[in-house]
Amino acid sequence: MAPIWLLGQTQQSISEVWQSDQGDGTYVNPILHADYSDPDVVRVGEDYYMTASSFNCIPGLPILHSKDLVNWQLVNHALPKQVPLDVFDMPQHANGVWAPCIRFHEGMYYIFYPDPDFGIYMIKTNDPNTNWSEPQLIKSGKGLIDPAPLWDEDGKAYLAYAFAGSRAGIKSMLMVCAMSPDATRTVENDVLVFDGHEKQPTIEGPKFYKRNGYYYLFAPAGGVSTGWQLVLRSKNVLGPYEEKIVMEQGATPINGPHQGAWVDTITGEDWFIHFQDKGAYGRVVHLQPMKWKNDWPIIGKDQGNGIGVPVLGYKKPNVGKMYPKVTPPDSDGFDTTSLELQWQWHANPKLYWGFPTSNGYFRLFCQAIPEGVTNLWDVPNLLLQKWPSETFTATTKVAFRAHEDGEKAGFLIMGRSYAYLEVKQEKDELYVSQVICDNADLKGIETVGKSYKVKSNELYLRIVVNKGGKCLFSFSEDGKTFKNVGEGFVAREGKWIGAKIGYFAQRKGITNNAGYLDIDWIRFTP
């Protein structure tokens, strides 16, 4: 049976604001202009499955599917709630699911993911579109990150991983240990196989492969936004490993091109998927051609020195067939019996935060502000999705039905600093205003702009996002004439995630009958 958040899913729609597929046999990068950080991909037959880091956002571990490596559909989340439950019932910014690895072995799909505070977990399934197993901690320890398994031809299994200096107190090294073939436990015989301190600082994120008798570790080095792609190889699984830089930024605008997945096609082509850190936009996903020379890969366009640079566009992979355009969802009519897959909460959700209705709304209830919280940074009931493009207009139709003065709802751009359109009841009247909070992660205080009294509780709220993350806010009572509200706002990223857009509903104090926001639809347009 499909997980509950899949029930009632509507037919796949095509984004109006970002399509990589150009319709002429070519594509442009990024293939996903959205924050799918630390992407990893596996091919099984003609199908490709991708997962990515999700940190504190729930449901986590997104599962995307593609037939051609360019057009991707969001089909599932492998992690409906994050463990330990008592920890992740409140926001844990920058914690939770770090760089995962997805693999297929003997009929089973596996995801290995690290939680830097607890260790390395494994989940599995025989169908990535449905339920995954409960997380199993197969290697405990603070600061163990970026796991990648390898099943060898002799039946033995291994796990590569790295260290997070913030937890372990050491970094810039890659390790390998033995693992049981069923991936349920590791053996404590860990070996340092590569030390990057001298030439490859901040090496991390290994992906483990074998080809032509060589063991390969593909690993990023040099830092998230400033680094390059390194490849290590050895005839022995435990090394020593040779090293070679195989992709760098060069003269291109694609900074830090690294951390991702080598995949092939059924026609024998090789490709590499990686991310680029774009600040408020998060880590967007690129696709690079790849070729082998003297048993070393070259990723992107060869500069003539055996080191590639990223391409901005290219001919689509030859997968033997042509497939239609698909994209992850962004617009939503909220007319299904469950939340569509683009929506995530900032912590493990509670039923009473909100749920679908039978008449085509998502109802979000005003929750009490948690004790000791100064702004939205530590509020768990934020319903948000990733930004889908560099520029877009997001318009939503809502109805706010407050039960008491002081209750409010917001249409929100969330990050380390945030801003939102507030709809609030005061003296039995409704008012719209812009609220800005600078440095929310450092306990910044919200400032409320000029308020505009509205006659109806049914409103159209709009946020326009321009290049550089510049946001403009407006509202309308008829859906035709919009009034600008407040000042411009430049979005900021969150902790290891991009800025997000969505909703919240809030009140001071607990009640037995809270007001609510009925969300009718949200539409993303150019």
Kindly give, in sequence order, each residue whose CB lies less than 8 Å from that of residue 361, ignoring residues fewer than 6 positions away: 334, 399, 518, 519, 520
Verify whether residue 188 is a known catalytic residue.
no
Query: Rounded CA gap, 183 and 185, in Å?
Result: 6
Verify whether residue 182 is a known catalytic residue.
no
Q: Which segments within 248-403 are labelled E, that is strand?
A: 258-264, 270-277, 283-293, 296-299, 301-302, 308-309, 313-315, 354-356, 362-365, 367-368, 383-386, 392-401
Q: 20-24 long-range CB contacts below 8 Å, 24 or more apart?
A: 20/70, 20/71, 20/287, 21/70, 21/71, 21/316, 21/325, 22/313, 23/325
For residue 447, how many other CB atoms are within 10 A of its CB?
12
| Residue 133 · residue 154 · CB < 8 Å | no
Q: Which is catalytic among the residues 35, 146, 204, 248?
A: 204
What sign for the dihedral angle of Cα 327, 41, 286, 395?
A: positive
Query: Rounded CA gap, 463 and 389, in Å?
Result: 13
| Residue 34 · residue 387 · CB < 8 Å | yes
Q: Which is catalytic among the residues 35, 38, 115, 243?
A: 38
Instruction: Fill in the amino acid letter for 74.
Output: L
Query: Rounded CA gap, 271 and 212, in Å?
Result: 17
What are the angstrom distances between the C-alpha of 59 and each of 52, 53, 190, 378? 12, 11, 32, 18
| Residue 160 · residue 151 · CB < 8 Å | no
Two structure tokens written together for 150: 């390898």
Query: Rounded CA gap, 446 and 31, in Å?
Result: 36
Which sequence positions are flagged as catalytic?
38, 204
